[in-house]
Amino acid sequence: MDLVKKNEVYTIDITGMTHEGQGVGRIDNFTVFVDGPVEGEKVEIKIIKVKKSYAIGKLLQVLEPSSDRTEPFCPSYKRCGGCSLQHMNYEASLRFKTNVVRESIRRIGGLENVVVHDTVGMEQPVNYRNKAQYPIGRYKDGIRAGFYAKRSHEIIDCATCTIQHSVSDRVRAVVKEYIEKNNISTYDEITGEGLVRHIMTRVGFKTGEVMVVLVINGRNIPSQKKLVDRLVKEIPEIKSVVLNVNTKRTNVILGDENIVVYGRDTITDYIGEFKFNISPLSFFQVNPVQTEVLYRKALDYAQLTGKETVFDLYCGIGTISLFLSKKAKRIYGVEVVEAAVKDAWENAKVNGVENAEFIVGEAEKVIPEMYEKGVRADVVVVDPPRKGCDEAVLKTLVDMKPERIVYVSCNPATLARDLKYLAEGGFEVREVQPVDMFPWTYHVECVVEIQRSESSK
């Protein structure tokens, strides 16, 4: 496209937003994507990349700002790849997320008459994360511990992060200073050498308990007792310090082996009335306040009377299963990660839940096998990873014809794809409730009520 040239400066109107929060405009009907603008703004941009069907622009200045624009509260906002919506006010970010869900269901799912409610936001959308993961590395300007820059693995040093629990900043500061003063090596992704890879924290919001996990390319840290003593002295909420061994050349943060060097191997927290033991490797929703909102809506949509057999697919450590257990006859949780299933059994035991059973395996294999053996569900809850449900799972649901399906999703695109399959297979998608689990980011969680249609009964 000769009309749009790299390094040229243009003025464009932002007429839309991508699902990741990029502004969308056009130059002579040629699409341009730009980080930073808000829909409705007129901006000046510099073209930094030209492809066959689109171009990428860099925001130079906002000529006509939107009333939804606000000043980002984080000094690292422009470089850090964590939050992407801080340049718009919170109410506008909620409207953006609702629109992403509606458009996905209409455009990808082909569903026109589905009720999509407004996204449920937080009263205080700050300090909401109960888990922080700080990559750490040595640069010419010293040790950096923080977050990766956008579309990069360059570490941006962040002394404070407003979306993390404040105790995580304190842990990060102590560990960073200790590594710097004691000249301890940090991991280099290119060479595979160096010791400390990540600092991870987990916080029990209702218990106040803190776990510190140091991910290392080895099995110990020089003078680690001094580090542990200092951590515990300065941050008395710490109940566990763990070395996580990860010696692989990989971008995966955690290794499989944990060495407890202080306190317990788990901390505890609650979602609603249910108590959970959380280990370094446990999957546990990172926003406990909104998790309770999400799960209560899932319980509403399940419409349990105490007589139902429920399948909870991709059940993790059993959080949704336990929430449903008091109103169901029987719960079967299915999860591929063996450690998570072990945690699920333990969490059921801790909470006195006796009507839940947890099975290790891939949902796409376990569910058809159970169905063939005559075990069928009245209600199915699915909470798959970002890639959505495997088609074998959806096919079994269509064959099984449960009364209701409750779909919990972290990806509107794959959600819409799966809803289309279910709608074509005899189910009616009733309503969708988006929940803002990750304020200031483009991510949105949804819970969907799906009923078997009258014609397929």
Tell me the C-alpha distance between 313 and 300, whole Å. 18
The whole-number pLDDT of residue 2 equals 63
Count the Cβ atoms, other than its own, within 10 Å of residue 121: 17
pTM, entire model: 0.92
To 5 degrees, how large is the angle CA 122–CA 123–CA 124?
90
Which CATH superfamily groups domain 94-123+283-456?
Vaccinia Virus protein VP39 (3.40.50.150)
Count the Cβ atoms, other than its own, within 10 Å of residue 3: 9
Tell me the C-alpha distance between 335 and 343, whole Å. 11
Q: Could you tell me the two tokens for 434?
A: 């988006």
Three-state SS letters, 76-145: CCCCECCCCCCCECHHHHHHHHHHHHHHHHHHCCCCCCCEECCCECCCCCCCCECEEEEEEEEECCEEEE
Mean per-residue pLDDT for 304-316? Answer: 95
Active-site residue identified among 80, 83, 161, 410: 410
Residue range 132-265, CATH number: 2.40.50.1070
Q: Could you tell me the two tokens for 208?
A: 């106040």
Lowest mean pLDDT among 77-81, 211-215, 245-249, 365-369: 77-81
Bridge partners (DSSP) of residue 245 are 216, 257
Q: Where does 274-400 show beta strands of DSSP type E?
A: 274-278, 309-313, 330-335, 356-360, 379-382
Virtual torsion, Cα 384, 413, 295, 21, nearest 10 deg: 130
At the topology level of CATH, where does 9-64 sit?
OB fold (Dihydrolipoamide Acetyltransferase, E2P) (2.40.50)
- Number of helices and strands in the chain (H, E): 9, 22
Q: How confident is the model at residue 82 (pLDDT cuts 50, 70, 90)?
A: confident
Tell me the C-alpha distance between 326 and 63, whole Å. 56
Residue 128 has pLDDT above 80, yes or no: yes
Collapsed DSSP state (helix, strand, coil) of residue 227: helix
Count the Cβ atoms, other than its own, within 10 Å of residue 457: 8
The whole-number pLDDT of residue 63 equals 97
pLDDT in tens, 236-292: 999 999 999 999 999 899 999 999 999 999 999 999 999 999 999 888 889 999 999
For a pLDDT cut of 90, what percent of the chain falls above it?
87
Residue 436: closest CA among 422, 446, 426: 446
Each domain of the chain, given as residue ranges in start order, spans 9-64, 94-123+283-456, 132-265
Q: How confident is the model at residue 151 (pLDDT cuts 50, 70, 90)?
A: confident
Domain 94-123+283-456 matches domain 132-265 at the CATH topology level? no
Residue appearing with tokens 């003078």 = 223
SS3 content of the chain, % helix, strand, coil (to 5): 25, 35, 40
Do 119 and 435 contact (CB within 8 A), yes or no? yes
pLDDT in tens, 189-223: 999 999 999 999 999 999 999 999 999 999 999 99
Burial of 29 (0-12, 13-18, 19+ CB in 10 A): exposed
> Residue 410 catalytic?
yes
Tell me the C-alpha distance between 280 and 444, whole Å. 25
Average pLDDT, the chain: 94
Residue 1 has pLDDT above 50, yes or no: no
Residue 165 has pLDDT above 90, yes or no: yes
β-strands 196-203, 210-216 pairing: antiparallel
Do 23 and 36 contact (CB within 8 A), yes or no? yes
Mean per-residue pLDDT for 68-92? Answer: 92
Collapsed DSSP state (helix, strand, coil) of residue 301: helix
